[in-house]
């Protein structure tokens, strides 16, 4: 077991008014658990912010025993203390067991190790012995401490609904009497009671039978439909920038080897734009991503010499390194904070210190401002075609800073594909397809990164597996080709397959059916339809996609040329059918999305248009089952033989009848 002085067992502080839940009667259970009490007290009057939590739960099922019988509390020993006040087991109204310090195991579990992030957090783990159905577990603890750079600031965001229904929920925020804070109530959250007690001001919420949290698919990033409250003492985003800016502005003497490497990387640069891209790729390539966020490392970058010597760093380290290099070569640059979750909605709540989770770089040439992410893999493209960071808004760490919109270029077709289908033979028909796909922008970056990590064979196998699943059997007839055009930020992939089970027998047993659908278009909106949508629908990043399919058929088709368009709020789709010859059909599906947010009142219109688009795309082809060439020719041409005979017979009969 890991030993630490940051974990102790001691009574609750004097300012904690323990809630009496003895008369509480839960009315609603969730997943076999009754929650009698959920209690939170946040005290910012202490030398360091203290969060007190208490939970009283009852197990009503065997599955619930696994939940309430195992307690895991995570803390960061570099700046936090975890103080356990009580863990008690009640049966029939009596306490039958309580935890001692030696009952806990202190474990180190790096929850983000797969993402190459190490934060040094520890977990206090307790298995409560002898828990039975009907037992009640009552536990409370305090978490004391905050990141040193943020000590003394106030940033509170908490909700009034969770994955359980609490019979009683209390939230108490204890502030210094003269402390000015901005408070925002969200989604019909109740107003607090305000109490003055000496030199403190208390904001108090007491709720009964809280509602279960409600989530729907494809909500906007960071959107929380639950009632909540946000409290912050920051007066502006400029104040937030001023807190973090000094950590990036200390004098950094660049190592000689770093300057030499950067100088070589930009050797062929003919302009400031070329220099920026060359240095960006230099940092992306030479410094691997690895976040060792222990201590202050979670919010403050390391020293330049340490970053370069280790050749690894997190977003803060890599952004500082790139910023210093750009400044060294005369480019106006600064780090900038973004939130990859809330993106453009980062200012939906008041300015606050915990608003951001990522750091990138802002570069300025004349009046033009561009943003770059040095944690991306080695990016391709020119100044016009390189993929920008789609994070919505950024807070540059400069004097008098304000949130800025990250401007992005007009997106190209991120996916543009041409499929050539050839169906041969009427007897035992065969289906061949050759696909030419162009990946661009972020799609090209992703495919290029996968190609570097896994190799051509793995990428080719992934594509082949798709067609194998889609058409129940596909054999690669040519080696997959991949052509990279870095200056265009474009990857071209050429594939060729024979489908072994492309046709399926119709229910009548007399026809063979083949169905083609442009799969990457319709499932683009991963949203589940509900009868009464209560939350907005996020259409995702703006994007353009197209797929053209040319079908060479063994018999005449009877399709007519047509053009169908769907113009919906935030997106459009066009399906164009062209008859090249009686045996060749060309279908183009074009999709474009603006990346908008659809309000709940327009949700049904969105679902109706989506259903309409589903009916327009795709191509179904049917042909009789032939058993021999003779039979197939006769079945194909019998009307051409019979009709002339019928007409001649009719004329002869008319002549004789007339006579």
Residue by residue, DSSP assigns 327-340 as HHTT-EEEEEEE-T
Residues in a beta bridge with 491: 439, 484
**Domain count across the chain:** 4
Q: In 290-392, which ranges are E strands?
A: 291-292, 312-313, 332-338, 358-365, 368-372
Asked whether residue 538 is domain-assigned, the answer is yes
pLDDT band at 507 (very low <50, low <70, confident <90, very high): low
Residue 503 has pLDDT above 60, yes or no: yes
**Does one domain contain both 345 and 476?**
no
- State the average pLDDT for the chain: 88
Give the per-residue pLDDT at 294: 65
Give the per-residue pLDDT at 506: 63
Q: Which of 349, 373, 405 is the last residue in one of the domains? A: 405
The average pLDDT across 499-521 equals 72
Instruction: Quote the percentage of the chain above a pLDDT of 70.
Output: 90
Give the per-residue pLDDT at 30: 82
Residues in a beta bridge with 71: 126
**Does one domain contain both 436 and 379?**
no
Asked whether residue 355 is domain-assigned, the answer is yes
What is the pTM for the complete model shown?
A: 0.84
Asked whether residue 63 is domain-assigned, the answer is yes
> What DSSP line would sit under 468-535, residue for residue?
HHHTT-EEE-S--EEEEEGGGTEEEEEEEEEESS--EE-TTSSEEEEEE--TTTGGGS-----SS--S
Give the per-residue pLDDT at 171: 96
Asked whether residue 529 is domain-assigned, the answer is no
Asked whether residue 419 is domain-assigned, the answer is yes
C-alpha 58/C-alpha 32 separation (Å) is 8
C-alpha 489/C-alpha 406 separation (Å) is 20
Residues in a beta bridge with 202: 174, 195
**Does one domain contain both 245 and 207?**
no
* Backbone torsions φ then ψ of 402, nearest 5 degrees: -140, 160
Give the per-residue pLDDT at 635: 54
**Does one domain contain both 507 and 539?**
yes
Q: What pLDDT digit, counting tens, does each position of 604-637 carry? A: 999 888 888 877 777 888 777 665 554 555 555 5
**Does one domain contain both 397 and 511?**
no
Enter the tokens of residue 21.
């839940």
Asked whether residue 18 is domain-assigned, the answer is yes
Are 197 and 511 in contact by the 8 Å Cβ rule? The answer is no
Neighbours of 3 (CB within 10 A): 6
The average pLDDT across 635-651 equals 62
Residue 485 has pLDDT above 90, yes or no: yes
Alpha helices in 129-270 (DSSP H): 237-249, 256-265
**Does one domain contain both 124 and 14?**
yes
Tell me which residue range forms the domain holding 637: 629-659
Straight-line distance from the first to the last Cα atom of the chain, in angstroms, rounded to the nearest whole number: 116
**Does one domain contain both 310 and 244?**
yes
Give the per-residue pLDDT at 430: 84
Q: What pLDDT digit, counting tens, does each position of 537-547 carry? A: 998 888 899 99
Domain with 98 in it: what CATH number? 2.60.40.3140
**Does one domain contain both 425 and 364?**
no
The gap from C-alpha 68 to its chain's centroid, in whole angstroms, comes to 30
Q: Which of 211, 233, 255 is the last residue in one of the domains? A: 233
Residue 587 has pLDDT above 80, yes or no: yes
**Does one domain contain both 388 and 448?**
no
Q: Looking up tokens 């190609």, which residue turns up?
A: 451
Residue 549 has pLDDT above 70, yes or no: yes
Give the per-residue pLDDT at 560: 83
**Does one domain contain both 517 and 544?**
yes
> Who's near 271: CB < 8 A, 6+ residues apart?
none
Asked whether residue 528 is domain-assigned, the answer is no
**Does one domain contain both 515 and 643?**
no
Q: Which of 370, 405, 440 is the last residue in one of the domains? A: 405
Q: What pLDDT digit, counting tens, does each position of 228-273 carry? A: 999 999 999 999 999 999 999 866 789 999 999 999 999 999 999 9
pLDDT band at 287 (very low <50, low <70, confident <90, very high): very high
pLDDT band at 509 (very low <50, low <70, confident <90, very high): low
Asked whether residue 541 is domain-assigned, the answer is yes
**Does one domain contain both 132 and 148?**
yes
Domain with 260 in it: what CATH number? 3.10.620.30
The average pLDDT across 166-172 equals 94
């Amino acid at each position: 077991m890991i030993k630490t002085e940051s974990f102790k067992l001691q009574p609750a502080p004097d300012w904690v008014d323990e809630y009496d839940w003895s008369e509480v009667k839960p009315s609603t259970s969730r997943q076999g658990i009754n929650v009698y009490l959920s209690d939170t007290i946040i005290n910012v009057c202490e030398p360091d912010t203290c969060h007190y939590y208490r939970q009283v739960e009852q197990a009503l099922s065997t599955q619930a025993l696994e939940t309430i019988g195992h307690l895991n509390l995570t803390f960061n020993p570099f700046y936090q203390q975890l103080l356990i006040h009580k863990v008690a087991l009640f049966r029939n109204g009596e306490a039958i067991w309580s935890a001692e310090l030696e009952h806990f195991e202190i474990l180190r579990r790096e929850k983000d190790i797969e993402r190459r992030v190490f934060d040094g957090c520890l977990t206090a783990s307790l298995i409560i012995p002898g828990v039975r159905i009907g037992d009640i577990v009552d536990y409370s603890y305090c978490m004391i401490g905050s990141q040193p750079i943020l000590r003394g600031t106030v940033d509170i965001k908490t909700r009034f609904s969770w994955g359980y229904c609490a019979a009683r929920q209390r939230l108490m925020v204890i502030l210094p009497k003269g402390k000015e804070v901005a408070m925002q109530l969200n989604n019909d959250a109740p107003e607090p009671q305000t109490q003055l007690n000496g030199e403190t001001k208390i904001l108090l919420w007491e709720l009964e039978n809280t509602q279960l949290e409600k989530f729907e698919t494809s909500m906007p990033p960071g959107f929380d439909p639950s009632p909540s409250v946000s409290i912050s003492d920051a007066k502006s985003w400029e104040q937030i920038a001023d807190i973090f800016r000094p950590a990036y502005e200390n004098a950094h003497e660049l190592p000689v080897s770093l300057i030499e490497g950067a100088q070589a990387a930009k050797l062929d640069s003919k302009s400031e734009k070329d220099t920026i891209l060359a240095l960006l790729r230099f940092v992306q390539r030479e410094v691997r991503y690895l976040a060792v966020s222990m201590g202050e490392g979670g919010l403050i970058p390391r020293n330049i010499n340490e970053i370069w010597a280790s050749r690894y760093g997190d977003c803060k380290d890599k952004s500082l390194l790139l910023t210093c290099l750009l400044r060294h070569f005369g480019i106006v640059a600064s780090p900038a904070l973004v939130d990859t979750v809330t993106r453009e909605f980062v200012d939906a709540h008041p300015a606050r210190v915990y608003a951001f989770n990522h750091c990138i770089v802002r570069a300025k040439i004349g009046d033009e401002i561009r943003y770059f992410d040095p944690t991306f893999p080695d990016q391709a493209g020119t100044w016009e075609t390189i993929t920008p960071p789609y994070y919505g808004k950024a807070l540059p760490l400069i004097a008098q800073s304000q949130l800025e919109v990250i401007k992005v270029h007009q997106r190209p077709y991120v996916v543009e594909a041409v499929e050539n289908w050839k169906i041969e033979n009427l007897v035992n028909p065969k289906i061949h397809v050759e696909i030419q796909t162009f990946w661009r922008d972020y799609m090209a970056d992703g495919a290029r990164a996968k190609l570097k990590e896994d190799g051509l064979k793995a990428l080719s196998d992934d594509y082949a597996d798709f067609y194998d699943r889609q058409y129940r059997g596909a054999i690669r007839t040519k080696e997959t080709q991949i052509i990279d055009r870095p200056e265009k930020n474009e990857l071209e992939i050429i594939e060729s397959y024979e489908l072994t089970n492309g046709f399926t027998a119709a229910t009548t047993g007399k026809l063979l059916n083949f169905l083609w659908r442009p799969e990457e278009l319709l499932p683009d909106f991963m949203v589940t339809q509900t009868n009464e949508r209560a939350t907005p629908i996020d259409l995702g990043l703006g994007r353009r996609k197209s797929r053209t399919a040319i079908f060479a058929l063994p018999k005449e088709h009877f399709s007519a040329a047509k053009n169908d368009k769907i113009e919906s709020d935030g997106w459009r789709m066009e399906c164009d059918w062209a008859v090249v010859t009686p045996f060749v059909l060309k279908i183009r599906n074009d999709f474009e999305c603006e990346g908008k947010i659809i309000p709940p009142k327009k949700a049904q219109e969105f679902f109706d248009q989506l259903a309409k688009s589903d009916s327009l795309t795709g191509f179904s082809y049917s042909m009789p089952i032939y058993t021999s060439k003779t039979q197939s020719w006769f079945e194909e041409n019998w009307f051409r033989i019979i009709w002339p005979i019928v007409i001649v017979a009719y004329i002869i009969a008319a002549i004789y009848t007339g006579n």
